[in-house]
Chains A and B, each alone.
Chain A
Amino acid sequence: MEAVIFLIVLGVIVAGGFLAAFIWAVRSGQYDDDYSPSVRMLFDNKKQKDTETEFSESNNNN
C-alpha cells in the first residue's frame, strides 16, 4: 500500500506544478487579452522573429 502514498505525493506535486504554471500565466498577463494571440499566430513568422531579436538586442544595450 506504500505505492498509494507515493502516488498521492506525486499527484499533489504534479497538480501543484500546474497550479504554479497557471498562477504564472495569469500574473504575466496572458489572460488579459484572449483575442490578439489567436490572430497573431497566423502571421508571417520571419518578420516577427526579426522584431524580437532587435528588441532583445536593444534591451542588452541598457
Chain B
Amino acid sequence: MGKPCVHCGADCGSSPVVWDEKAFCCHGCKTVYQILNENKLGNYYEIQPMSGIKIDAGQPLKKFAFLDIPEISEKLLDFKDDNLSRIRFFIPAIHCASCIWLLEHLDTLHPGISFSSVNFPKKEVQITFRSDQITLRQLAELLTSIHYTPEITLDQLDKKHIGKANRSLLLKIGVASFSFMNIMMYSFPEYLPGGDLLEQKFRHIFGWLSFILILPVVFYSASDYYLSAIKSLKHKVISIDLPITLGIFALFIYSSYVVFSGKGIGYMDSLAGLLFFLLIGKWYQGKTYEALSFERDYKSYFPVAVTVVEAGEERIVPIRELKKGDRMLIRNQELVPADAVLVKGKGSIDYAFVTGEAMPVSRKENDFIYAGGRQAGSSIELIVEKPVEQSYLTQLWNQRAFKTEAESLNNHINHISHYFTIVVLLIAFGAFTFWAFSDLTVAVYVFSSVLIIACPCALALTVPFTFGSTMRAFGRKGFYIKNTDVVEQLYRTTTVVFDKTGTITLNRKVEIGFRGESLTDKQKLLVSNMVRHSTHPLSMALFDFLSGYETVQPDQYEEIPGMGITGLIAGQRINLGSESFVTGETTLADMYESRVYVSFDGRLSGYFTFTNSYRPGLEEVIADFGRKYKLHLISGDNDGEAANLRRLFGPSASLKFHQSPTDKKAYVQQLKKQGEKVLMIGDGLNDAGALAESHTGISIAEDVFSFSPACDAILEADRFGQLGRFMEFTRISFRVIRQSFAISLVYNIIGLSFAVTGNLSPLVAAILMPVSSITVVAFVTFSIGWIGNKRLREMSN
C-alpha cells in the first residue's frame, strides 16, 4: 500500500506522482493541485482533506465546443445582458464543504468570474461572469480542469427546473401559524375560570379579530385540501381530503355563526391549529431529493451537440438540427445520437444501457447503427438516416405510460376514509334526528359538533408521518423513493421482474478467467502494459484484472479497431485480440462468452474469458423474494447464462431472453392484466418502458446523480443486497399505520361521545384535537425511527 493521494485520497500505489513533496495517484490529480496552489486556493485541502475528485485516466475529458454556438448557450443562460451573464451548472461531483468553498472562490481562478454560489441540495452552482472576458465554453472547461465537470444534457435546453411548489407550502404554513398563535391568545380567556365574566365588548373584539385572522387560513392555507377533495370526487373516490374539507367547513361555518351572534369565538383556535398541524404533515411528507431526478427520459442521456463533417471541415451542430444525410463524427466514448449508417472506421458500439447487451457489438462500414449506443474505440463517421426525434429508440422511450390519477387515489388511506366518511355522516344524521324531536337548535349544534370532532386530523396525519419517516430511513440507507405513495406500492407487490444486464450483473465488472498454458508473471506484466494504452472495454477490464504491475513502455504499439492490439515490448511481439486476429483461424466456438486471445512471438498461449459477474448479495435477495413473490427475469441479452440463472431463480421463475424494450413493456402489461402488482427492477433505457408501466419501478444506479431512467425509486447499486430488508420494512410501516389508526379511532369515539350528547364545548375540542394529533404523530415517528434504527442499522454503512 502506498500513501493516500493528497488530492483525492485514493491509494497512490508503488509509484506515486510526486510534486511539491506531495504524493498523487495520477497526473490528473496533480494538475488540479497545481492549479489550486498557483492561485492560492490551498485552503481547499484544509477544509476537508483529500476530498478532491478523481477523473480516471482512461476517461477523456469532456468537450464543450458546442457551448460556442449562440442558440445553445442562450438557452442555457439564466440571464444575459451586454457584459454580464448568469448560468446554473449541474455538477454531480459536488459532495462536501471543500467543494462549496472552492466553487464560491472561482473568481480567484479567472478575473472574468464575478460571483458564484452553490446550492448544495441541488448540486448546482450559479455563476455570474463577464461574457467579454470569459465565454461559457471557457467557463465549463475551467470547471472541468479542476475536475468539477458540469453535466449539460439535451433536456436542460427545454426547461428550467425551479422548485416553486415547496415555497408556496412554506408560505401556507407561515400564514396558518401566524393566525393560530394569535387566535389562541384571544381564545385563552374563555377557557380560564371566570372567563364568562369577560366584558361583552372584549368578547366582540376577540370574535371579530379571530374571524378576520381565520379567513386567510381557510381560503389560502387550506385550499389544496378542497382542490384535492373535488378531484377525488370526480374520480368517484372518497379520499381522506373529503372528510377533512367537511370538518373545516363545519368548524368555520359554526364558529362564524357564534361570532356573528356575539357569543364568543367558537372553535376558531381549533380550526387554525388543525390546519397548522395538517400542513406540517404535508411538508414532512413532501421531502424530495432535489439533486435526483425520477422523471428522466432519453433527453437527459443525449448530448447537446455533435460534430458534423462538411466538405472536410468539422463543425459543431446542435442535435436538434441534425438532418438526414449529415455526416457525423463520433469519437471514443461519444454517443451516437441518431439512427445512422457507418461510413468510415470500425464501430465497436456499447449498447449495454439501451438494449441490455452486455458486450460491445462490432460494426463495419455500411452497417446500420441505432441511436443510443456509445462508441468504444477510435473515431467513426456516420451518415444520419433519421433525425433524432424520429430515431427508433427515441420513439420507443417517448411512449411513456403515465400512471393515471384514479390509480394513485386507490390507496389504503382512501379506502379507510371511504368507510370513515360514511359512518361519520350516519352518526351525524342519526344524532340530528334524535335531537330534532326535542330541540331543533340543539340538533343543529350536535350535527355540526359531530362533523367538527370527527374531522380525521389524526387519521390524516398518520400516513404522511409514517411514510415520511420511512422515506427518510430509506434515504439514509441509499434507497431514494420518489414520493410516499411508493411505500404503499412496494408493500402491495406480488410479482418481481428483474432485468439482467446492469441490474443483477455488474455493468462494468466482468469475471475474467484464462484458458491455455498458464502465464508467467513476466508475461502478465507485458500484457498489462499492452492493454494499458487501449480504451476498448475489454482492454480496460483486462487492465483492471492485471493491475499492480510496473509500467513498461512498449517499443511499438498499434491498435487495429475491431481486431486487437499488436506491439513490441521488451523484445517480444505480442498480439492480443479476436481469434481471427491472433490465430488467423475462426473456429465455431461458444459465442456466449467474450474471448481475448494472446500470443507471444507468434506462439498462441491461450485466451482470456470474460463473463458477467453477479451483484454481491444477489443469491440472498432472490432466495428471499422467491419465498414471497413470483419471480421473472427479462433480459435484452442472449441466453448464454440461462443455466446459471435457472439455478439461481429456481424452477418456478420465468426467464426470458432476447427481449426488446417493447417486449419488456408488453410483458409487464400482461402481468398487470393478470392482476399482479408488479415491481420492476431495471437499470437502463431499455427498461424505461417497463419501469413506467409497472406499479413500482426501481432503477439501480452506480451513481445516483448521473443518468437513470424514469422510475419511482432509485437504489444505490451497492445496496442491492439489502433490497429484501427494504421490502420487509414496508410491512412494518403498515403495521405502525394500523396501530396508529386504532389510537385515532379511540380518540374519535371519545370525541363523538361528547358530540352526540350535545356536550362538546370549544374547550373540549381545543384539548382533544391537538392532543390526538400530537399522540399520533409522536407514536408513528418514534415507532418508525426506533424500528428503523434497529432493523436498518444492521446494514453496513
Interface residues of A (CB under 8 A from B): 1, 4-5, 8, 11-12, 15-16, 18-19, 22-23, 26-27, 29, 31-36, 39-40, 42-44, 47-48, 51-52, 54-55, 58-59, 61-62
CA separation between A11 and B118, bound complex, in Å?
Answer: 38
Whether the pair B114, A36 counts as a contact (CB closer than 8 A) is no
Whether the pair A15, B163 counts as a contact (CB closer than 8 A) is no
5 nearest interchain CB pairs? Answer: A55-B115, A35-B120, A36-B120, A19-B178, A39-B97
Whether the pair B100, A36 counts as a contact (CB closer than 8 A) is yes
Residue B119 at the A interface, CB < 8 A?
Answer: yes
Number of interface residues of B (CB under 8 A): 39
CA separation between A59 and B114, bound complex, in Å?
Answer: 10
Q: A8-B209, A40-B100, A44-B43 are in contact. Are A32 and B81 (CB under 8 A)?
A: no
Known interface pairs A15-B182, A35-B120, A52-B115; 13 further A-B residue pairs with C-beta atoms within 8 A, sorted by A's residue number = A4-B202, A12-B209, A15-B181, A18-B178, A31-B170, A32-B167, A33-B122, A36-B100, A36-B120, A39-B101, A51-B105, A58-B114, A61-B83
- Return chain A residues, CB-CB under 8 Å to B175: 19
Whether the pair B105, A47 counts as a contact (CB closer than 8 A) is yes
- Return chain A residues, CB-CB under 8 Å to B120: 33, 35-36, 39
Whether the pair A51, B199 counts as a contact (CB closer than 8 A) is no
Whether the pair B174, A19 counts as a contact (CB closer than 8 A) is yes
Whether the pair A26, B167 counts as a contact (CB closer than 8 A) is yes
Whether the pair A62, B84 counts as a contact (CB closer than 8 A) is yes
CA separation between A44 and B167, bound complex, in Å?
Answer: 31
Select A26's contact among B128, B174, B181, beta carbons within 8 Å. B174
CA separation between A29 and B118, bound complex, in Å?
Answer: 13
Residue B326 at the A interface, CB < 8 A?
Answer: no
Q: In the assembled complex, how far is the CB of residue A37 from the closest CB belonging to chain B, in whole angstroms?
A: 9
Closest to A37 in B: B120
Can you pick out 16 interface pairs between chain A and chain B where the beta carbons lie within 8 Å of each other?
A8-B209, A16-B178, A18-B178, A27-B171, A29-B167, A33-B119, A33-B120, A35-B121, A36-B119, A36-B120, A39-B100, A51-B104, A51-B115, A58-B114, A61-B83, A62-B84
Q: Which of B49-90 contact A (CB under 8 A)?
A: 81-84
Select B167's contact among A31, A40, A62, beta carbons within 8 Å. A31
Whether the pair B182, A11 counts as a contact (CB closer than 8 A) is yes
Residue B716 at the A interface, CB < 8 A?
Answer: no
CA separation between A54 and B100, bound complex, in Å?
Answer: 19
Q: A19-B178, A32-B163, A54-B107 are in contact. Are A26 and B170 (CB under 8 A)?
A: yes
CA separation between A54 and B186, bound complex, in Å?
Answer: 51
Q: In the assembled complex, how far is the CB of residue B641 from the closest CB belonging to chain A, in whole angstroms?
A: 44
- Return chain A residues, CB-CB under 8 Å to B167: 26-27, 29, 31-32
Residue B205 at the A interface, CB < 8 A?
Answer: yes
Q: In the assembled complex, how far is the CB of residue B220 from the closest CB belonging to chain A, in whole angstroms?
A: 12
Interface residues of B (CB under 8 A from A): 43, 47, 81-84, 97, 100-101, 104-105, 107-108, 114-115, 117-122, 128, 130, 163, 166-167, 170-171, 174-175, 178, 181-182, 185-186, 199, 202, 205, 209
Q: In the assembled complex, how far is the CB of residue B190 from the closest CB belonging to chain A, in whole angstroms?
A: 15
CA separation between A39 and B48, bound complex, in Å?
Answer: 12
Q: In the assembled complex, how far is the CB of residue B86 from the closest CB belonging to chain A, in whole angstroms?
A: 11
Select B107's contact among A4, A16, A22, A51, beta carbons within 8 Å. A51
- Return chain B residues, CB-CB under 8 Å to A26: 167, 170-171, 174
- Return chain B residues, CB-CB under 8 Å to A54: 107, 114-115
- Return chain A residues, CB-CB under 8 Å to B185: 11
CA separation between A42 and B47, bound complex, in Å?
Answer: 10
A interface, over-half SS: helix
Select A62's contact among B81, B101, B118, B186, beta carbons within 8 Å. B81
CA separation between A1 and B43, bound complex, in Å?
Answer: 63
Q: A26-B170, A26-B174 are in contact. Are A55 and B104 (CB under 8 A)?
A: no
Residue picked from A1, A8, A44, most chain B C-beta under 10 Å: A8
Q: In the assembled complex, how far is the CB of residue B110 from the closest CB belonging to chain A, in whole angstroms?
A: 13
- Return chain A residues, CB-CB under 8 Å to B114: 51, 54-55, 58
Whether the pair A1, B199 counts as a contact (CB closer than 8 A) is yes
- Return chain B residues, CB-CB under 8 Å to A44: 43
CA separation between A47 and B81, bound complex, in Å?
Answer: 27
Q: A11-B182, A12-B209 are in contact. Are A23 and B171 (CB under 8 A)?
A: yes
Q: In the assembled complex, how far is the CB of residue B528 from the closest CB belonging to chain A, in whole angstroms?
A: 42
- Return chain A residues, CB-CB under 8 Å to B101: 39, 43
- Return chain B residues, CB-CB under 8 Å to A29: 167
Q: A1-B199, A8-B205, A32-B119 are in contact. Are A58 and B178 (CB under 8 A)?
A: no
Q: In the assembled complex, how far is the CB of residue A35 from the closest CB belonging to chain B, in whole angstroms?
A: 4
Q: In the assembled complex, how far is the CB of residue B757 from the closest CB belonging to chain A, in whole angstroms?
A: 35
- Return chain A residues, CB-CB under 8 Å to B178: 15-16, 18-19
Q: In the assembled complex, how far is the CB of residue A41 from the closest CB belonging to chain B, in whole angstroms?
A: 11
Q: In the assembled complex, how far is the CB of residue B417 from the closest CB belonging to chain A, in whole angstroms?
A: 31
Whether the pair B84, A58 counts as a contact (CB closer than 8 A) is yes
CA separation between A62 and B86, bound complex, in Å?
Answer: 14
Closest to B201 in A: A1
CA separation between A29 and B126, bound complex, in Å?
Answer: 14
CA separation between A31 and B115, bound complex, in Å?
Answer: 20
- Return chain B residues, CB-CB under 8 Å to A61: 83
Closest to B129 in A: A58
CA separation between A27 and B164, bound complex, in Å?
Answer: 9
CA separation between A55 and B155, bound complex, in Å?
Answer: 30
Q: A11-B182, A51-B107, A62-B84 are in contact. Are A23 and B118 (CB under 8 A)?
A: no
CA separation between A44 and B101, bound complex, in Å?
Answer: 9
Q: In the assembled complex, how far is the CB of residue A54 from the closest CB belonging to chain B, in whole angstroms?
A: 6
- Return chain B residues, CB-CB under 8 Å to A33: 119-122
- Return chain B residues, CB-CB under 8 Å to A5: 205
CA separation between A22 and B575, bound complex, in Å?
Answer: 71
- Return chain B residues, CB-CB under 8 Å to A52: 115
- Return chain A residues, CB-CB under 8 Å to B83: 61-62
CA separation between A34 and B170, bound complex, in Å?
Answer: 13
- Return chain A residues, CB-CB under 8 Å to B209: 8, 12
